[in-house]
Amino acid sequence: MPNRTERPAAPARPGAGGPRRGPGGAPGTGGGAPVGGGFGKGGRGRGGTAGAFGKGGAGRGKQRKSKRAKRQELEQMSAPSLGGVSVPRGDGNTVVRLRRGASITDFADKIEANPAALVTVLFHLGEMATATQSLDEETFGVLGEELGYKIQVVSPEDEERELLSSFDIDFEAELEAEGDDELEARPPVVTVMGHVDHGKTRLLDAIRNTKVVEGEAGGITQHIGAYQIEFEHEGTDRAITFIDTPGHEAFTAMRARGAKVTDIAVLVVAADDGVMPQTVEALNHAQAANVPIVVAVNKIDKESANPDKVRGQLTEYGLVPEEYGGDTMFVEVSARQHLNIDALLEAVLLTADAALDMRANPDKDARGIAIEANLDKGRGAVATVLVQSGTLKVGDTIVAGTAHGRVRAMFDENGDNLTEAGPSRPVQVLGLSNVPRAGDTFFVTDDERTARQIAEKREAADRNAALAKRRKRISLEDFDQAVADGKVDTLNLILKGDVSGAVEALEDSLLKIDVGDGVQLRVIHRGVGAITQNDVNLATVDNAIIIGFNVKPAERVADLAEREGVDMRFYSVIYAAIDDIELALKGMLKPEYEEVQLGTAEVREVFRSSKFGNIAGSIVRSGVIRRNAKARVTRDGKIIGDNLTVDSLKRFKDDATEVRTDFECGIGLGSFNDVKEGDIIETFEMREKPRV
């Protein structure tokens, strides 16, 4: 005999009684097909189906939830739903640290969420991305804010520190553990910088008594060379390491990767030419790196030489000679005649001893910087490295950036074999797996396996960072917010103009702006001429804004600035530039927008629709009419409707996205119905106005 709860429902009688209410639930239906209550127990009508939540009402029986269903319901209640999916939520102060180029999957692992759910949430926030796609810091910030997390993208330095700590490598703790008795004096590392053809390489040639210039194409340095010389100073032989660079591009490239290579910069200025544009650039790069400067006034043997003019010009850039009461040493030399070379070396050593603590521990594994590298057909990857601490030996296993390998051989600047190299010693190294970049750090590891794993993880991190959208650097609009967030406290500017007088006037006016406490304004470079790639590189390193006064970027510079996220501003009126900078410092600068007309259409006939209102049958007279564009209606030259929107746009019976000149169309302006034959419909859009 069947159980009472399993008895089939009797067929409903037509016209049966009214609704019945199940206890604790919504009304059941007395006739027809009864359904259970929405919440609680279902209706008691026969044949009632289970309620959406709670217990069903199939007859008088009860259906219990399984423990798994109850647990899932509890998890759904505790994890709020965003975009139709359930995700764990933070309290608004929960910090999640992510590496550069991290993906949604990495974020999901941190908060123990389903990556697919985060993809859905991000989609509802207006951003489409896959679970394994690298995202930028801004996108993670929006996603984290929605879910109640504070996202911190780890800086390259912190990322490198965390990578090495996973292999139990901690260089900072190693340095703190070193005692003074373990440190020994090391040679200073000197970079020679200056304008092209002012005698940088010939000066090094005179110092080393070699013929480097004759081996260069056209007498111009084509590579980065590092050399070490011996010099007798106060009765003691002292070593000095020189780095010869093609201008200052390599100096900036190494700084861009966080490499602190140079101890002292020798600024070479020709006594007959004086200060030139690249001289100023080299000077600004050295000052931005906080490197002491020694000025070598070269070519004093020429009849047109005027060393005092050079001193006066450099005083304007903050280099005041000692004889004028400053702290910068100026030495007049002649590289061709070998005049005062010893005096220049004396000045370098005196500056080093006075301003720097040049000591290192030679009795440990080597660490240093890759200065240059190339691929040799016969020898493979050849890297010129500068040992900064420790001693590098043949047979050591090293990792340099994304390259690794065992040191098969080492050579000095003359091509002689070396078995070991101490602090401040530049050497060529053979045996790396590939070519490292200028500025990559290298260090010795215990075994090849560790070196290979570190190199592979570095390569993967660089690849992910490259896949991520480039983070936009500081701009005038977001400077105030960046200050409030504690990200910056100094607004760095690079000024370029058509004439030096205008640049000087602009700089003087900007420096007079009262920026208040806690915020500084700093001009890290100024120059005359078009904005160059060097300007963008310097802005990239020092997070600066480029101000162009009556000048434009050189070829391909604008593309480079866009890739690097550098903000460039162009002005033709000096007061406009001053006002913008002042407003930015005070947090008041907003983007300017201008109205750009898209097209006009003449109303030929008005069609009336009970569903859509009045439809203006029109012909496009100029430009293009786009759906969803802003619009206004004019009649006899007077505006009768403004700030309207093209809600609907049709070509005959078909919807259209846009309609061009001389074509007919039907235009619907939403709730605005006051259109007549002969009216003119203008469409326009608001675009951000470039500042000029």
Q: Give residue 344's pLDDT.
A: 93
Integer angstrom CA distances of residue 388 from 246, 412, 424: 22, 16, 5
What's the token pair of residue 302? Answer: 């020429």
Three-state SS string across 498-554, please?
Answer: CCHHHHHHHHHHHHCCCCCCCCEEEEEEEEECCECHHHHHHHHHHCEEEEEECCCEC
Q: Give residue 686's pLDDT.
A: 85
Integer angstrom CA distances of residue 512 from 404, 408, 491, 520, 582: 52, 58, 14, 11, 10
Q: Give residue 145's pLDDT.
A: 86
Residue 168 lies in a domain: no
Q: Same domain for 441 and 340?
A: no
Closest-CA residue to 369 (of 203, 533, 208, 250): 250
**What's the whole-number mean pLDDT along residues 555-568?**
83
**Binning pLDDT at 50, 70 and 90, where does residue 338 land?**
confident
Q: How far is residue 302's CA from residue 271's CA, in Å, rounded to a whole number? A: 8
pLDDT for 11 beyond 70: no
**What's the whole-number mean pLDDT along residues 170-179?**
79
pLDDT for 47 beyond 70: no
Q: Give residue 347's pLDDT.
A: 93
Residue 325 lies in a domain: yes
Q: How far is residue 580's CA from residue 591's CA, in Å, rounded to a whole number? A: 10
Residue 167 lies in a domain: no
425-461 pLDDT tens trace? 999 999 999 888 877 889 999 999 999 999 998 888 7
Q: Give residue 330's pLDDT.
A: 95
Strands (E), 261-402: 264-270, 293-298, 329-332, 359-360, 367-376, 380-389, 392-393, 397-400
Q: Same domain for 287 and 323?
A: yes
Q: Same domain for 192 and 333?
A: yes
**What's the whole-number mean pLDDT along residues 328-343?**
92
**Where is the domain boundary, 428, 446, 467?**
467
**What's the whole-number mean pLDDT along residues 373-389?**
88
| Domain boundaries, position 498 | 479-585
The enclosing domain of 300 has a CATH number of 3.40.50.300
Q: How far is residue 494's CA from residue 568's CA, in Å, rounded to a whole number? A: 9
pLDDT for 320 beyond 70: yes
Paired strand residues for 297: 269, 332
Q: Same domain for 98 and 217?
A: no
Residues whose CB falls within 8 Å of the CB of residue 681, separated by 6 or more in sequence, listed in order: 600, 601, 602, 603, 616, 618, 625, 631, 632, 633, 667, 669, 675
**Binning pLDDT at 50, 70 and 90, where does residue 137 land?**
confident
145-171 pLDDT tens trace? 888 898 888 876 777 787 888 888 888
19-34 pLDDT tens trace? 444 444 444 444 444 4
**What's the whole-number mean pLDDT along residues 553-574?**
83
Q: Same domain for 348 and 382?
A: no
Q: How far is residue 285's CA from residue 262's CA, in Å, rounded to a whole number? A: 12
Q: Give residue 509's pLDDT.
A: 82
Q: Same domain for 346 and 371?
A: no
Alpha helices in 259-394 (DSSP H): 277-288, 307-315, 341-355
Paired strand residues for 619: 602, 664
Q: Give residue 19's pLDDT.
A: 46
Instruction: Name the domain count of the chain.
Output: 6
Residue 32 lies in a domain: yes
Q: Same domain for 80 and 21?
A: no
Q: Give residue 194's pLDDT.
A: 83
Q: Same domain for 345 and 411?
A: no
Does 35 or 397 have the greater pLDDT score?
397
Residue 169 lies in a domain: no
Q: Same domain for 218 and 336?
A: yes
Least confident of 39-48, 238-247, 267-276: 39-48
Q: Give residue 264's pLDDT.
A: 92
* Number of residues that this document lists for the chain: 692
pLDDT for 543 beyond 70: yes
Residue 374 lies in a domain: yes
Q: Give residue 507's pLDDT.
A: 83
pTM for the full predicted model: 0.55
Least confident of 359-363, 591-595, 639-643: 591-595
Q: Give residue 141's pLDDT.
A: 84
In the three-class reduction of DSSP (H, G, I as helix; E, B as strand; rest coil), residue 403 is classed as: strand
Phi, psi of 249 (to 5 degrees): -65, -45
Query: pLDDT over 90 for what percent of the chain?
Result: 24
**What's the whole-number mean pLDDT along residues 591-607?**
87
pLDDT for 308 beyond 80: yes
Residue 474 lies in a domain: no
Least confident of 203-217, 417-431, 558-572, 597-611: 203-217
Least confident of 219-228, 459-468, 517-526, 575-584: 219-228
Considering all CA atoms of the chain, what is the largest pairwise distance in Å, rounded to the nearest integer? 127
Alpha helices in 543-630 (DSSP H): 557-564, 574-585
**Binning pLDDT at 50, 70 and 90, where does residue 593 land?**
confident
Q: How far is residue 159's CA from residue 137's CA, in Å, rounded to a whole number? A: 15
In the three-class reduction of DSSP (H, G, I as helix; E, B as strand; rest coil), residue 158 is classed as: helix
In the three-class reduction of DSSP (H, G, I as helix; E, B as strand; rest coil), residue 465 is classed as: helix
Q: How far is residue 309's CA from residue 528's CA, in Å, rounded to a whole number? A: 19
pLDDT for 549 beyond 60: yes
Residue 160 lies in a domain: no
Least confident of 78-92, 353-367, 378-392: 78-92
Q: How far is residue 123's CA from residue 130's CA, in Å, rounded to a whole number? A: 10
- Residue 322 CB neighbour total at 10 angstroms: 11
The enclosing domain of 508 has a CATH number of 3.40.50.10050
**Where is the domain boundary, 585, 612, 635?**
585
Q: Give residue 27's pLDDT.
A: 45
Element (H, E) at 123: helix 115-124
Alpha helices in 148-185 (DSSP H): 156-165, 171-177
Q: Same domain for 221 and 304?
A: yes
Q: Same domain for 507 and 643?
A: no
**Where is the domain boundary, 13, 30, 64?**
64
Task: Find out whether 358 and 188 touch, Cβ atoms under 8 Å.
Answer: yes
531-542 pLDDT tens trace? 988 888 888 877
Q: Give residue 49's pLDDT.
A: 43
Burial 49-76 (b: 16+ CB within 10 A, else e): eebeebbbbbbeeeeeeeeeeeeeeeee
pLDDT for 119 beyond 70: yes
**What's the whole-number mean pLDDT along residues 663-687?**
90
Q: Same domain for 398 and 331?
A: no
Average pLDDT along the chain: 78
**433, amino acid identity:** S
pLDDT for 51 beyond 50: no
The enclosing domain of 604 has a CATH number of 2.40.30.10
**Binning pLDDT at 50, 70 and 90, where does residue 524 land?**
confident
